[in-house]
Structure 1
Amino acid sequence: MDAYEYENLSGRVILVTGGGRGLGAAICEALAQEGAQIAVADINKSTASKVADEITFGGHTAEALVMDVTDERSITKAYDRVVNRFGHLDAIINNAGIDVTIGIREMESSDWHRVIATNLTGPFLVSKHGLAHLCSGGHIVNIASTAARRAWPNASVYHASKWGLMGLTHALHSELRGEGIKVSAVIAGGMRTPFLLDRFPDLDVQLLQDPKNVARTIKFVLTQPPETVIPEIMVLPMKETSWP
């Protein structure tokens, strides 16, 4: 395989969790435009199908999958569908994430467990079961946040989940690199997505970045030659207020 082949995604099969909207949808669309075959995985069937249909109508290849990243049976069934449809798997993008914006005194233990299950246990389970299908030279990309680099009030569980995700990412990088499996974290600053804007409608969108820019960074991470891996990269809006 020559350098050009490493620098494009043509024919690669990539699964994206939380692919039905926001950053996930932007990742699916951006990678499909580069020739990747996309498994759009989301807990919401209708949003996953909408993204997959848009990619297909654009002349590219996508398959919508229902996947609950907190449910091992749901994960393994989704992987079976990917392999049946595409025959192999080249990369996993652990993008699915949720948040509960509330002070620790008001937070229920059920809120804590739900966020940790999605944001931290989810990437663990999706990665664990995905290793059975990843091709040699496969790649796991975990979507982190500036919440893994500093802290602000009323977000303790989100911070805990994203700091934990960074630890998981670097541990898997160390564990799997000897097998030729790459593991990377993309630390994304604030984006113009429903994840933020649905909860904080008064946010100044001029302080946020287009999720397409983060998707472009993920493409960069995925297209390094086999001898090179990017374990961690940060992509921020120019007016980012949360880092540093």
Structure 2
Amino acid sequence: MHRCLRLFALSLLTVALAGCTAQAASGAPVPPPKMDATPAAGAQQTAVFAGGCFWGTQSVFERVRGVVDTAAGYAGGSASTATYNQVTTETTGHAESVKVVYDPSQITYGQLLRIFFSVAHDPTQLNRQGPDVGPSYRSVIFYANDEQKRIATDYIAQLDAAKVFSKPIVTQVTPLKGFYRAEEYHQDYALRNPDNPYIQICDRPKVETLKKEFPDLFVRYTGKK
């Protein structure tokens, strides 16, 4: 049994208490970043985010307008330990992550960050997301260049200064040293298993929140483009 499912079966109460999605302290939408990249035509760009079980993170970003492709995988450790069986030991340094390939003329890095903080996960939970506990479920932005680093660190400072969340953001901002695609059965897992109880309780609400809060960015997704 996948670890997410095992932990979910043992901790339904934890899901209810801890939640799987961020809640702004005021109840208002999470504001956009003051610093952002300028929309521009050009080559596709890549962002890598970790925010709990990669099933849910992927299910959010693959439904965002301007996102060309996504992949569930591992980042933060070495290639030699980038397998699910090793990552679940919580000794590899990896975090369950999602690579987001996007068109910078349609969506900016800052817009992706806003979705990451307000829809994809709760950035105030340390080394966990809802029922999933351990450093492989930590919140991380793996930046690919100095611009991504500046935008991410400035946005976290902006949200913390405004006390958008009732607790401090614990998201790490770390250089991307490698992204390793996860086993094929993890790819599009939420899409292919919509009736799974974990998906229904932890991940489907994220998609509904995306649709409600970002209607101009929401697109229906039925499989690889």
After TM superposition, the score normalised by the length of structure 2 is 0.29
Larger % of helix: which?
1
Higher relative contact order (CA 8 A, sep 6+): 2
After TM superposition, the score normalised by the length of structure 1 is 0.28
